[in-house]
Amino acid sequence: MFLTVSGGAEVKAWRPELSGVVEVLHAHFPSHAYPSHTHDAWTVLIVDEGVVRYDLDHREHGLAQAQVSLLPPNVPHDGRSVRPEGFRKRVLYLEPERLGRDLIGAAVDQPEYVDPLLRHRLHQLHGVLLDGREDLEAQSRLTLIEERLRQHLQRNVLDPPDPRDPGIASRLRDVLDANVPAGITLDYASKLVHAHPAHLVRAFSREFGMPPHRYLTGRRVDLARRYLLDGHPPADVATLAGFYDQSHLNRHFRKMLGVTPASFVRR
């Protein structure tokens, strides 16, 4: 992760270990204006402070905090603040194939969306990517975001109906149970279960009342409890149970049980 502070501007950029995302950018620009340029990726932009105005393919657009902007790859655009205090933004850069090049024209025609659910999902994903230790959660959230963006690009803001198949959720649970410490990517799980990743997340959440990543975290906490009661030190338990490190274990353990792993053993 790179953090740059120059002339009052703050830029934090990094490349997460999340397939499909080539870069994440968090920035505060008090006065900077972008000249016309292009990206080789889909640019998914939300503004947290201020208002941004930009030209895309020679047409002027504006972006406020309630909106989401999707800029297509290889189409010129610029950017500037509407207000004198500047703006603060968060950006995901997605590989061109994630949404498909055949939808570039639709994004040029309508690059902004007022969609509170989409914006909230983006906010959640940025938080997960900042943490950097919740792979399955990041994959799940990105899958739902991409699906929502495709729906907008295809002029359909409603979720398509899903066939009710409780067997899919049960099969995914079996896959998760078989991969508790090692974990599994959402794409690989979808191949094993023979279902689209977005459908997997929705079907599992509907059947079990929680998304797959939360279920897997709970199973890892259960496994950590067993290792702790067997006498393993907390530092070793984190790795054995599939957590990123001991602080990662502590956070989820305390969230679920109200105490740290060390306190759990002492009690």
For 24-49, give the DSSP string. EEEEEESS--EEEE--SSEEEEEEEE
Q: State pLDDT tens for residues 70-108.
A: 999 989 889 999 999 999 999 999 999 999 889 999 999
Confidence of residue 201 (pLDDT cuts 50, 70, 90): very high
Confirm whether 32 is domain-assigned: yes
Note down the domain range covering 62.
2-153
Q: State pLDDT tens for residues 248-263.
A: 999 999 888 888 898 8
Which structure tokens are listed for 41? 């990726």
pLDDT, the chain, mean: 89
Give the CA angle between residues 155, 160, 163 to the nearest 5°: 165
Q: State pLDDT tens for residues 32-82.
A: 888 888 888 999 999 999 999 999 988 899 999 999 999 999 898 899 999
Confirm whether 159 is domain-assigned: no
Q: What is the Cα 266 distance to its own chain's centre?
A: 37
Specify the DSSP element, H or E, that contains 148: helix 135-153
- Is residue 41 a contact partner of residue 73, using CB atoms and an 8 Å limit? yes
Confirm whether 87 is domain-assigned: yes
Q: Are residues 229 and 203 in the same domain?
A: no
Confirm whether 158 is domain-assigned: no
How much is the pLDDT for 259?
83
The three-state secondary structure class of 60 is strand
Q: How far from 160 is each of 163, 177, 214, CA to CA, in Å?
A: 10, 29, 24
CATH of residue 249: 1.10.10.60
Q: State pLDDT tens for residues 126-172.
A: 999 999 888 999 999 999 999 999 999 987 434 444 555 668 999 99
DSSP bridge partners of 29: 87
Confirm whether 244 is domain-assigned: yes
- Domain count of the fold of the chain: 3
